Copies of this chain bind each other. A is one copy, B any other.
Amino acid sequence: MSRMGLSQGEILALWAVLGVAILGLLYAVYLARQILSKDKGTPEMQLVWQDIKAGAQAYLRTQFRSLLPLMGILFLLLGLSVLVVPVSPEAVETFCRVPEGLSRQELMQYACSNATWWIAAGRAFSFLLGASFSFAVGYFGMLMAVEGNVRVASAARRSFSEALTIAYRSGTITGMLTVGLGLLGGTIIFMIYGKSAPDALLGFGFGGSLIALFMRVGGGIFTKAADVGADLVGKVEAGLEEDDPRNAAVIADLVGDNVGDCAGMAADVFESFEVTIVSALILGIAITAQTGVLKWILFPLFVRAVGVISSIIGTYLVRTDDEKRDAMGAINFGYYASAVISVLGFGLVSYLYMGGDWRPFGATVAGVVLAIAIEKLTEYFTGTEHSPVQDIADSTRYGAATTILSGLAEGYESTVWQALVIALSIGVAIFLFHGEPYVYILYAVAMTGIGMLTMTGNNVSMDSFGPIADNAGGIAELAGLEEEAIKVLDELDAVGNTTKAITKGVAIASAVIAAVSLFGSFFTDTNLVLERLGKPLLESINVADPLIFIGLLVGGTIPWLFGGLMIRAVSRAAGEMIAEVRRQFRIPGLMEGRVKPDYARAVEISTQAAQKELLPLGVMAITVPIIVGLLLRAEALGAFLAGLIVSGQLLAVFMANSGGAWDNAKKLIEDGLHGGKGSEAHKAGVVGDTVGDPLKDTAGPAMNPMIKVINLVALIIAPMIVRFDRLTPPVLLFLLILLAAFIWALRISKRPVRYDVEE
């Protein structure tokens, strides 16, 4: 670190950033204590709640155990990778006592075991750090959501405003964990590794993304298997209401909201938050290497620190009184307060530190504006007040087919507008750094991503708020609470649906922005390695070259493959759940309410089903970029990433928006449109909602971490690919092993869906 030439003020400021990260975590602890001090309501409520809590914890414990071996293998491989890919001259400079005045060329030849050990440890332990932070955010976020929901249900019996505050603050805990740990990890790695940080940062990002992928896929499959299973047998076949206690899958469904919408979402957003800082730091280090000016590295950290502070203030401001009962207004007020404070803070940092260079400031502010623009866009395409959802609701009158078709049409179109907003945000970066080398523009793109995620604290609060309110409603229903309390919770639930939908758009957009800047680092990073190896540099990723075009085309297919496989995985898991619920319905006395169903068994089925699907998808995501890289080489691998990002962004937005729109179209009908509940239009609306569920809650959200995992694997593997530019027997053997692993995983993921139907 000392070699980086930080001024005393800068060193102090770095420690201050660390302090802010810890402040965010302390605020989370403070909120957690506040929530835990609230009462848990009646014994009936606590009984229901204990089932949910046990199920949720059991799920994450199982998940943790089933991932351990893979994480261990990857930990070892990352550490051993120093045997194949030599450490960077920056690492040598940082960790070896090199004679003064060595040229860069000489540094590359210089080897010292000290640097090798530090980098090996950095790659491996940063990976573990990223993975455990991601898991921790998911785990504690979910735990606090579970602790929150019974207390929200209890508070709803007393006061609307208290219920709102508890629900929102339970979500804020996750938000604060996300921003606190995200900032902490990046800052610590930078403080230890200085300009040799990129290796460790990639490991950090990879760990976080991989866990996020598993949490998203696992949580998504769990929650939709339970949801679809509960609905298809319970509602459709047996004619029961939602949350009927005789339905064995009902607790699994409530658990699913927590593991999917809380734990999965939290890990996913953490990953975007982490990856944007990773790519900003890597690009900042690259610029600093050329210019010697350190501000490019520190600015993103300062901006993030400002974001943490503004999130604390903004989320704290969310409150309403029992007369106005304006939950949406309160949440929005906090959101915009955070936005304004952030922009002011960015301005202050730029004024004090950036020495009159307002361009990075411009990029971050553009990010804030674009986050708001995307929320508006998502609200337009998925909100009940606008024509897309209303059109879908109208089309339900002609049955399920027209409902699906209009949802497809709206969803397809919505992807176009979101992509244009992302294109615009890249355009702003180009405009700001017009005439500078690419790396500045990529840096600006990364800063736009950081700006977009400034309000992450608020976004996660809003996002968790939905499932917490939903769960509270479920508990109230199952425990038979008063009408008034249920009404309060219904209101909160409706608000939660809206906040959940609008924050999803930002999650996808920021993921794409992060992927674009990562993709940019792929290019600069690969060239650094090529330079180190003394090989000719990559000049471009030229898609007019047929081989490179193949890379682009193959990259474009990956999201479709994963999308198809994930839909299939949900159907397969739902099939198992259906068989179980059916079996329990046949238990004598259960339908009459005399025998309690075996809720734990349904939770167990969802848990096991999710586990079975996780590993193959993870193996495919890890192996595919290595296979493509070894077969088609580094330049085509770059095009592969480009195709992956473009195709993944379009498919993810389509899935999220169509799913959200179908969901809300059904809600419109349930609120009395076109005949209301039980009408033919409602049946068509339910079909749309059921189709949309796995799209918007499993396949779509899993696209973000999937894109990033593949990107990061490509970045990590690029040095090896440029090193092994011939298929020598050992490389060929490695390739064959990877291909075998991929095919094994694909075969498992393609197991047929078994429907247990008696005809």
A401 touches B690 (CB 8 A): yes
Residues of B within 8 A of A578 (CB): 398
Query: Is A540 positioned at the interface, with any CB of B under 8 Å from its CB?
Result: yes
Residues of B within 8 A of A408 (CB): 564, 567, 691, 695
B755 touches A694 (CB 8 A): no
**Which stretch from A108-116, A300-308, A416-424, A500-508 is at the chain B interface?**
A416-424
B563 touches A412 (CB 8 A): yes
Within the complex, which residue of B405, B520, B753 is in contact with A406, where a contact is CB–CB below 8 Å?
A: B753
B552 touches A405 (CB 8 A): no
A476 CB → nearest B CB, Å: 28
Query: Is A34 positioned at the interface, with any CB of B under 8 Å from its CB?
Result: no
Binary B-proximity of A551-568 (CB < 8 A = 1, otherwise 0): 011101100110111011
Query: Is A603 positioned at the interface, with any CB of B under 8 Å from its CB?
Result: no
Query: Is A105 positioned at the interface, with any CB of B under 8 Å from its CB?
Result: no
Taking residues whose C-beta sits less than 8 angstroms from the other chain, chain A's interface range is 35 or more
B567 touches A409 (CB 8 A): yes
Within the complex, which residue of B413, B564, B571, B638 is in contact with A543, where a contact is CB–CB below 8 Å?
A: B638
Query: Is A442 positioned at the interface, with any CB of B under 8 Å from its CB?
Result: yes
A430 touches B650 (CB 8 A): no
Within the complex, which residue of B410, B570, B753 is in contact with A395, where a contact is CB–CB below 8 Å?
A: B753
**Which stretch from A333-341, A349-357, A641-649 is at the chain B interface?**
A641-649
Residues of B within 8 A of A159 (CB): none
Residues of B within 8 A of A545 (CB): 438, 540
Query: Is A549 positioned at the interface, with any CB of B under 8 Å from its CB?
Result: yes
B571 touches A402 (CB 8 A): yes
Residues 381 to 417 of chain A near chain B (Cβ within 8 Å) = 387, 391, 394-395, 397-402, 404-406, 408-413, 415-416
B419 touches A387 (CB 8 A): no
A214 CB → nearest B CB, Å: 21
Count chain B CB atoms within 10 A of each CB in A406, A519, A541, A557 and give the residue with the most.
A557
- Contacts A409-B571, A540-B540 hold; do A442 and B546 have CB atoms under 8 A apart? yes
Residues 270 to 292 of chain A near chain B (Cβ within 8 Å) = none
- Contacts A419-B557, A540-B539, A752-B387 hold; do A550 and B427 have CB atoms under 8 A apart? yes
- Cα distance A563–B695 when bound, in Å? 18
Query: Is A429 positioned at the interface, with any CB of B under 8 Å from its CB?
Result: yes
Residues of B within 8 A of A570 (CB): 405
Within the complex, which residue of B429, B539, B549 is in contact with A426, where a contact is CB–CB below 8 Å?
A: B549
Query: Is A748 positioned at the interface, with any CB of B under 8 Å from its CB?
Result: no
- Cα distance A399–B540 when bound, in Å? 50
Residues of B within 8 A of A17 (CB): none
Query: Is A193 positioned at the interface, with any CB of B under 8 Å from its CB?
Result: no
A382 CB → nearest B CB, Å: 15
Residues of B within 8 A of A759 (CB): 397, 674-675
B400 touches A571 (CB 8 A): no
Binding site of A, secondary structure by majority: helix, strand, loop or mixed? helix
A722 CB → nearest B CB, Å: 15
- Contacts A546-B438, A557-B416, A561-B413 hold; do A642 and B552 have CB atoms under 8 A apart? yes
A430 touches B557 (CB 8 A): no
A523 CB → nearest B CB, Å: 4
- Cα distance A647–B561 when bound, in Å? 14
Residues of B within 8 A of A649 (CB): 553
- Contacts A232-B399, A752-B391 hold; do A560 and B404 have CB atoms under 8 A apart? no
Binary B-proximity of A512-548 (CB < 8 A = 1, otherwise 0): 0000100110110000000000000001111111110
- Contacts A544-B438, A544-B540, A649-B553 hold; do A236 and B387 have CB atoms under 8 A apart? no
A543 touches B687 (CB 8 A): no
- Cα distance A586–B402 when bound, in Å? 24
Query: Is A509 positioned at the interface, with any CB of B under 8 Å from its CB?
Result: no
Query: Is A250 positioned at the interface, with any CB of B under 8 Å from its CB?
Result: no
Residues of B within 8 A of A564 (CB): 408-413, 416
A544 touches B520 (CB 8 A): yes
- Cα distance A649–B549 when bound, in Å? 13
A632 CB → nearest B CB, Å: 9
- Contacts A404-B691, A415-B557, A567-B409 hold; do A546 and B429 have CB atoms under 8 A apart? yes
Query: Is A462 positioned at the interface, with any CB of B under 8 Å from its CB?
Result: no
B563 touches A546 (CB 8 A): no
Residues of B within 8 A of A560 (CB): 412-413, 415-416, 650, 654
A152 CB → nearest B CB, Å: 31
Residues of B within 8 A of A397 (CB): 755, 757, 759
Chain B residue nearest in CB terms to A429: B546
Query: Is A714 positioned at the interface, with any CB of B under 8 Å from its CB?
Result: no
A571 touches B395 (CB 8 A): yes
Query: Is A173 positioned at the interface, with any CB of B under 8 Å from its CB?
Result: no
A543 touches B404 (CB 8 A): no
Query: Is A486 positioned at the interface, with any CB of B under 8 Å from its CB?
Result: no
A380 CB → nearest B CB, Å: 13
- Cα distance A695–B423 when bound, in Å? 28
Residues of B within 8 A of A413 (CB): 560-561, 564-565
B236 touches A399 (CB 8 A): yes
B556 touches A412 (CB 8 A): no
A642 CB → nearest B CB, Å: 5
Query: Is A639 positioned at the interface, with any CB of B under 8 Å from its CB?
Result: yes
A645 CB → nearest B CB, Å: 8
Query: Is A183 positioned at the interface, with any CB of B under 8 Å from its CB?
Result: no
Residues of B within 8 A of A520 (CB): 544, 546
A421 CB → nearest B CB, Å: 11
B232 touches A639 (CB 8 A): no
B523 touches A419 (CB 8 A): no
Q: Which 5 A-B pairs have the closest CB atoms?
A: A412-B564, A540-B542, A401-B690, A413-B564, A540-B540
Chain A residues in the interface with B (C-beta under 8 A): 232, 236, 387, 391, 394-395, 397-402, 404-406, 408-413, 415-416, 419-420, 422-423, 426-427, 429-430, 438, 441-442, 445, 516, 519-520, 522-523, 539-547, 549-550, 552-554, 556-557, 560-561, 563-565, 567-568, 570-571, 578, 638-639, 642-643, 646-647, 649-650, 654, 674-675, 686-687, 690-691, 694-695, 752-753, 755, 757, 759
Q: Can you offer 30 A-B residue contacts whose CB atoms are under 8 A?
A: A232-B402, A395-B755, A397-B757, A400-B401, A400-B687, A404-B691, A406-B568, A408-B695, A409-B565, A412-B564, A412-B567, A419-B554, A420-B557, A423-B554, A426-B550, A427-B550, A429-B546, A430-B546, A516-B549, A519-B544, A519-B549, A520-B546, A523-B544, A539-B539, A541-B544, A543-B642, A544-B638, A553-B646, A560-B654, A647-B650
Using A391-B753, A409-B564, A520-B544 as known contacts, list a sample of 11 further A-B pairs with CB atoms less than 8 Å apart, ordered by residue number in A. A402-B571, A405-B571, A408-B567, A409-B567, A410-B564, A412-B561, A413-B565, A553-B649, A556-B650, A557-B650, A647-B650
